[in-house]
Amino acid sequence: MIQLKFKIDKFHLAYKLWSANFFTKNNKNQKEWNQLYKEIEHQYGSYPGYSFFVPENTHQALCWTNFGTGKNVQIIRDEKTLKKIFDTIFKSSCFKKKYSECRTFKKQIEEAWRKNYRGLKIFEKITGLQSSKTFEVFLLHPELESGCYLGMNQIEWGCTEDYDGHHFIGLCHEILHGLTQKQYQLNKTEAQQWLLHAVICLSADEELRIQMYKGNYLDPGSPYLSTPLLKKAVKKILPEWKKYTGSSKKRTILDFFQQIKDRPL
């Protein structure tokens, strides 16, 4: 059975909050973050490591998980300055507040996962995939509205709960990205990538949600519905998906994907 290990990586959280401050409108704490930005720019602006924190450059480094332990992150130069900048962020009141709220969020997510853990049996039945993998889940502040599979059995998660079971369903969605990663890499066209993502959405955001919490296909509220191409792909294969779930034949969602992967979008 799949296991999740929830953690808060301060470096990853700090960088995501730093980045979000400059790309999110109407940020309640923007004044504090702007002041922190000026302080860091004044102290470290002439050092190479500061380039990672210039607003227009922040997406050069998307994942800082385990930076503090020296794992998974390689810095070409000026690691010393990077650590000083992060220490400055950690000591700021705006970060301390978000970090405290994130710790509360962690307890909520752990409880939501524990409460719905029985749903993994339904998840396995729908997907036909059984795994004993352990995924690390790096939690972010929910205001960042982020859910992403990072690779190497690592997930990033920080979302508000937009509907009952959103956290459990969303995490299962990201788990499926991990379980289908090899197939994703084999896909030859962009259309196939969208179709595989559509299969993931139908498995978790639709079928698992419906079987656990009731509702209908394509109920409003699912975040993926705001992505036009993904929504189009889901609608394209929905009739065949219904046949797949209604069949007594033992198959996996990867078998189903092979059946529909060459559909034009």
Same domain, yes or no, for 243 and 151? yes
Give the dihedral of Cα atoms 179, 181, 184, 185; nearest 10 deg.
-150
Same domain, yes or no, for 187 and 148? yes
Better-predicted residue by pLDDT, 23 or 239: 239
Q: How far apart are CA 26 and CA 41, in angstroms?
A: 23
Q: Please give the pLDDT value at position 79.
A: 83
Is 127 part of any domain?
Answer: no
| pTM higher than the cut 0.85 | yes
Q: Rounded mean pLDDT of 69-86?
A: 73
Of 254, 205, 249, 207, the closest CA to residue 225 belongs to 205
CB atoms within 10 A of CB 241: 22
Q: Rounded mean pLDDT of 44-73?
A: 70
Same domain, yes or no, for 77 and 138? no
Same domain, yes or no, for 157 and 100? no
Tell me the pLDDT of the chain averaged across its residues. Answer: 89
Is 114 part of any domain?
Answer: no
Same domain, yes or no, for 139 and 100? no
Is 207 part of any domain?
Answer: yes
Number of domains in the chain: 2
Task: State pLDDT tens for residues 5-30.
Answer: 999 999 999 999 988 876 565 566 67
Q: How far apart are CA 36 and CA 32, in angstroms?
A: 6
Task: State pLDDT tens for residues 99-148.
Answer: 999 999 999 999 999 999 889 999 999 999 999 999 999 999 999 999 99
Domain that holds residue 181: 134-260
Of 11, 1, 2, 12, the closest CA to residue 157 belongs to 12
Q: How far apart are CA 18 and CA 50, in angstroms?
A: 13
Q: Please give the pLDDT value at position 71.
A: 56
Residue 176 has pLDDT above 60, yes or no: yes
Residue 3 has pLDDT above 70, yes or no: yes
Same domain, yes or no, for 140 and 254? yes
Beta strand residue intervals within 105-175, DSSP E? 134-139, 146-151, 154-158
Q: Rounded mean pLDDT of 52-65?
A: 67
Same domain, yes or no, for 199 and 142? yes
